Structure 1
Amino acid sequence: MSTTIDTLRFATAGSVDDGKSTLVGRLLHDSKSVLADQLEAVEHVSRNRGQEAPDLALLTDGLRAEREQGITIDVAYRYFATPRRRFILADTPGHVQYTRNMVTGASTAELAIILVDARNGVVEQTRRHAAVAALLRVPHVVLAVNKMDLVGYEEREFERIVEDFAGHAAELGLPGFTPIPVSALVGDNVVDRSTTMDWYRGPALLDFLEEVPVGVEAADAPARFPVQYVIRDGEVRHYAGQLVSGALRVGDRVTVHPSGETSQITGIDVLGREVETAYAPQSVSVRLADQRDVSRGDLITSGLDVPALTREVRAAVCHLADRPLKVGDRVLVRHTTRTVKAIVQDLGGAESLTANDLGRISLRTAEPLALDDYAVSRRTGAFIVIDPTDGATLTAGMVEL
C-alpha cells in the first residue's frame, strides 16, 4: 500500500496587527506540529512578558529583533505535515514596504491566505495583497476573517467583509475565493470547528488546506523542458533539467528553442532509471535521435502548442530591489535556465520603479526568448531582471502576450 502524500505550498499575508503570526502559530500548535522544546521556549518568553497564555505568534517570529519590535519583517518558511498532506508555508510580512516579500513568498504558492481583522474589515493593504495574488495567478485564495471573538462572532460582520472583498476581487479578475471566519487567539475554525459560530457551515482552515486540489499545471499542459545541463557520455548526449509542465514520451517529436531545430526522443532517464514517459515536475535527462546543437538555456517542447519566440518582452512586474529601475537601463533577463542581455524600453509611462512598486515593463532582449503567457504557465511565463554589474535581482516579471 502506497504511503505517498502530496505537498501544498501556501503563503499567508495580512495587514499589520491582523493577527497573522498568531494564526500561523495556532495552526502549527493545534495540528501538533510544534516540538516540545519550541513550545517550552515560547511559554518561557510569554511568562517573562507577563502573559498568562503562550503567545503563539512567537512560533513564527523567529528572529529575536523582530520579536522585540513585535513585527514580522521577512518571509519565514515553515514545514509541517498532517497524516493527509505535507505543507510548505511562506509567512510574509504585512507592512506595505514589504510587498516585495509577499511576491517572493507567493510566487510558487498554490494557495494564499489573506487575513483580515474583523474589526477593521478590508483595508488598503488587504487590497494590495489581493492584487499581488491576482498578479501572480495564485490558483486558490482563502479570505480568513480573524478576531471574530472581538465582534461577538456576528455573522453579519463576517458577511459585510466578504461582500466588500468580493467587489475588489471582481475588479482584479481574481478567481473565486473561500471565506472562513476564525479566531486565531481562541482557535475557532483554525484546526477545530468553532462551537460559537454555528451559522458557519464551511470547513475549518486546516480541513480546507488538506482538501484543496494540488497541482497548478493542468495534466494536459504543453510540455516545457528547459535544459539545465548537457551531459556527454562518449558520443551520446543527455540533456538534463526539470520538466516544468506537461509530459515527454519516448518517440515524441520535439522542437528546440530558440534554434527551431527538431528531433525525436529516443530515451528518458528519471533518477538513473529508463522510463517511457516523464511528467512535470520530475527532473529528467533526455536523449535525442540527432546530434543537435542544444545547450543550457534552450527550451525543448513537444506538440503543436509552442511558446512565442520574441525579443520584445512585455510584462507586469514587482520591483524588488532598493535601487530603482529606469528607462534605458541595460540589464540581464533570466528566463528559466536562459540569461540574455536586455534594455528597458518602457515602464508603463513611469520614469522609474522603486522598491515594492507594482507596474509594467517593456524590454528588448539581445537574443530571442521562448515565452508563454504567465496566465498559461507560471514557470515559462515568469522571469527576473538582474543587475549586470553585481548579479543582484532587481525585478520579478510576469509575461503578458
Structure 2
Amino acid sequence: MISTTQHPAATTLLRFATAGSVDDGKSTLVGRLLHDSKSVLADQLQALEHASRSRGQDTPDLALLTDGLRAEREQGITIDVAYRYFATARRRFILADTPGHVQYTRNMVTGASTAELTVILVDARNGVVEQTRRHAAIAALLRVPLVVLAVNKMDLVGYREETFAAIADELTAYATQLGVPEVTAIPISALKGDNVVEPSPHMDWYGGPTVLEHLESVPVGNAPAQSPARFPVQYVIRPQSPEHPDHRGYAGQIAAGSFRVGQEVTVLPSGRTTTITGIDLLGESVDAAWTPQSVSLRLADQLDVSRGDLIAPSAAAPSVTQDIEATVCHVADRPLTPGARVLIKHATRTVKALVKDIPSRLGLDDLSPHPAPGSLAANDIGQVVIRTAEALPIDCYADSRCTGSFLLIDPADGTTLTAGMAGHAFAEQATEAPAEDDEGWDF
C-alpha cells in the first residue's frame, strides 16, 4: 500500500478570474501576463502582430491574445469568458478573463464561480465606479476567498501614490463591508508592463509584489482539515474476474476534504453508515486521498450505492432535504418564474424540481434585496425557494462551494437556466414526498 501522509502539493494550481469595467484593461493585463511570463508561442506572437497591424497599430495589441471571438475583435470588447492555461516554474494557472459589460454579468459569474482569486481592475483615472462595486459584490456573493485590486493605467496619472492610495482605501473598505476576507492592492500599467511581471521603475514608493509574484505565492486549495469531506459517486465499478468476484468500488472525484481507510462514512440520501476498507488511486491502493483526486472507494458493507449518491464522514454529513432556499444567477434569456418546472443538477445527481417562490431580487451594486420581483431576467441575481422530487444531500454554499452549488436546467431542451448557491434547508431531514401527478411534477 502506498502511504500518502502529506497533502499532494508538489505542483499547485491556481484558478483565478479577472473582472472590471469596460476599457479598464483586463484583456491587456492578461495578455501582458502571458507575454512577459513567456507563455505565448512564436506562432501566436506572429498572429498577434499580424492582427495588430491589420488594425493600424504599430505595436502588438496584447488584448487580442484573449479576445478571440470575431465580434470581440471588431468591437474591441470582451464578450465571452476566455480561459487561458499557463504555467511558471512555481505554479500552474487557469485564468478566466470575464467581460466588463453589465449585460454580460452572467459571464462574470460563470468565470468566478470556480475561482480561488479574483483580480478586479480599476482605471486609475476613473477610480471606483458602479461596475467595480458590482464585481466586488459578486466576488463576495460567490465566496471567492482572495481579491486583488489592480489599479491600472498608473502611467496616465503620473504614477502618483496618492491616487493609488485613495482608490485602494475606498474599494478595500467597501469589500470589507461585503465580507470579502482579504484584498491586496497593486498599482500597475498593463500596457507598459509596470508591476505585472516585472517591478516598476516608476513607482519606487510601492514595495509590494508584482501581480505575477502575488499569484505565485498566495496559498491555494483547502487543507484536509478545513472542509468536511464530500465524495459524489460517479460510477459503480464491478469487475468480473475470478480473482475478485465480489469487488465493488465507487468511483468519482473528491469534491472536498479527505478520506482515509478505516473512516466511518454515511451514504446519502439513504443515511446508511459503513466503513472505508480501501482507496484505489491510479490503480494503486493508498491509505488516504484528498480533493481534487479521482479515486475509487471500497466499503465494508454491501449497500445500495449508485451514481448520484454522496459519501461523507458520518460525523460531518450534510442535511438531506427536499426544500432549498438559494441565491441564484439567472443565465437564460427567457425569465425564471414561480411555478417553473425544472431539473436540478447537484453534484452527480439530477432530479425534478419546482420553483416555489422568488422572494427577492438583489441589487447588483451592493446586494440589497428588492422584494417580490415576480420573475428573474437574464443576469438577475435573486433568492428562490425550490422543492425537489427527491431528497438531496446539499450543503450551505458558505460551507462548501462545490456541494453547495447547483444548476437549474430546462427539462425540455437541456438548456442551463440558472446557477444556484444553496442557503439553508427548511427541513433538517427529508420528508416523504406526496404522490406525483401524471407528468411527475406535483411534489
TM-score w.r.t. length of structure 2:
0.88
Cα distance between partner residues in 2 of 1:266 and 1:362: 39
Alignment of 1:171 with 2:182, yes or no, is no
Alignment partner, residue 275 of structure 1:
286
Structure 1 residue 138, shift from structure 2 partner: 0.8
- From 59, 80, 83, the counterpart of 1:77: 83
Q: Indicate the SS of the match to 2:238.
A: strand
The 8 Å contact of residues 118 and 151 in structure 1, kept in 2 or not, is answered as yes
Alignment of 1:313 with 2:339, yes or no, is no
Alignment of 1:387 with 2:410, yes or no, is yes
**Unpaired segments ≥5 residues, structure 1:** none
The 8 Å contact of residues 217 and 245 in structure 1, kept in 2 or not, is answered as no
Cα distance between partner residues in 2 of 1:225 and 1:365: 21
Alignment of 1:96 with 2:119, yes or no, is no
Q: Indicate the SS of the match to 1:259.
A: coil
- From 199, 210, 213, the counterpart of 1:207: 213
- From 38, 48, 52, the counterpart of 1:46: 52
Alignment partner, residue 26 of structure 2:
20
Cα distance between partner residues in 2 of 1:352 and 1:64: 33
Structure 1 residue 48, shift from structure 2 partner: 2.7
The 8 Å contact of residues 224 and 290 in structure 2, kept in 1 or not, is answered as no
Amino acid at match of 2:205: W
**Unpaired segments ≥5 residues, structure 2:** 1-7, 240-244, 360-371, 425-443
Q: Spell out the pairing of 1:2-17 with structure 2 (5 A cutoff).
A: 4-17=10-23
Change (3 A) 1:63 1:151: same
Structure 1 residue 219, shift from structure 2 partner: 3.6
The 8 Å contact of residues 147 and 185 in structure 1, kept in 2 or not, is answered as yes
The 8 Å contact of residues 46 and 52 in structure 1, kept in 2 or not, is answered as yes
Alignment partner, residue 157 of structure 1:
163
Cα distance between partner residues in 1 of 2:182 and 2:258: 28
Cα distance between partner residues in 2 of 1:374 and 1:366: 21
The 8 Å contact of residues 110 and 216 in structure 1, kept in 2 or not, is answered as no
The 8 Å contact of residues 344 and 363 in structure 1, kept in 2 or not, is answered as yes
- From 197, 216, 227, the counterpart of 1:221: 227
Structure 1 residue 232, shift from structure 2 partner: 1.5
Cα distance between partner residues in 2 of 1:182 and 1:235: 61
Alignment of 1:345 with 2:356, yes or no, is yes
Alignment partner, residue 127 of structure 1:
133
Q: Indicate the SS of the match to 2:67.
A: coil
Deviations 1:15-71 (A, max 9, x none): 101111111111111111111111122222222333222111111111233111111
Q: Indicate the SS of the match to 1:188.
A: coil
Change (3 A) 1:22 1:220: closer
Q: CA RMSD in A?
A: 1.4
The 8 Å contact of residues 222 and 257 in structure 2, kept in 1 or not, is answered as no
- From 242, 252, 271, the counterpart of 1:241: 252
Alignment partner, residue 147 of structure 1:
153
The 8 Å contact of residues 145 and 182 in structure 1, kept in 2 or not, is answered as yes
The 8 Å contact of residues 18 and 120 in structure 2, kept in 1 or not, is answered as yes
Alignment partner, residue 363 of structure 2:
none
Alignment partner, residue 40 of structure 2:
34
Q: Indicate the SS of the match to 2:164.
A: helix
Change (3 A) 1:227 1:83: same
The 8 Å contact of residues 322 and 387 in structure 2, kept in 1 or not, is answered as yes
Alignment of 1:369 with 2:392, yes or no, is yes
Amino acid at match of 1:382: S
Q: Indicate the SS of the match to 1:352.
A: coil
Structure 1 residue 3, shift from structure 2 partner: 11
Cα distance between partner residues in 2 of 1:134 and 1:220: 20
Structure 1 residue 74, shift from structure 2 partner: 0.3
Deviations 1:102-144 (A, max 9, x none): 1111111111101111111111111111111111111111010
Q: Indicate the SS of the match to 2:48.
A: helix
TM-score w.r.t. length of structure 1:
0.97
Q: Indicate the SS of the match to 1:380.
A: coil
The 8 Å contact of residues 146 and 180 in structure 2, kept in 1 or not, is answered as no
- From 313, 331, 342, the counterpart of 2:342: 331
Alignment partner, residue 67 of structure 1:
73
Deviations 1:291-345 (A, max 9, x none): 1111111111114111011111011111111111101111111110111111111
* Number of residue pairs the alignment of both structures matches: 400
Amino acid at match of 1:345: K
Cα distance between partner residues in 1 of 2:50 and 2:311: 55
Q: Indicate the SS of the match to 1:171.
A: helix
The 8 Å contact of residues 405 and 420 in structure 2, kept in 1 or not, is answered as yes
Q: Indicate the SS of the match to 1:223.
A: coil
The 8 Å contact of residues 267 and 274 in structure 1, kept in 2 or not, is answered as yes
The 8 Å contact of residues 273 and 314 in structure 2, kept in 1 or not, is answered as no
Q: Indicate the SS of the match to 1:304.
A: helix
Cα distance between partner residues in 2 of 1:220 and 1:202: 29
Alignment of 1:192 with 2:203, yes or no, is no
Alignment partner, residue 368 of structure 2:
none
Change (3 A) 1:216 1:105: farther
Amino acid at match of 1:272: G
The 8 Å contact of residues 332 and 340 in structure 1, kept in 2 or not, is answered as yes
Cα distance between partner residues in 1 of 2:322 and 2:299: 27
Q: Percent identity?
A: 69
Structure 1 residue 218, shift from structure 2 partner: 5.0
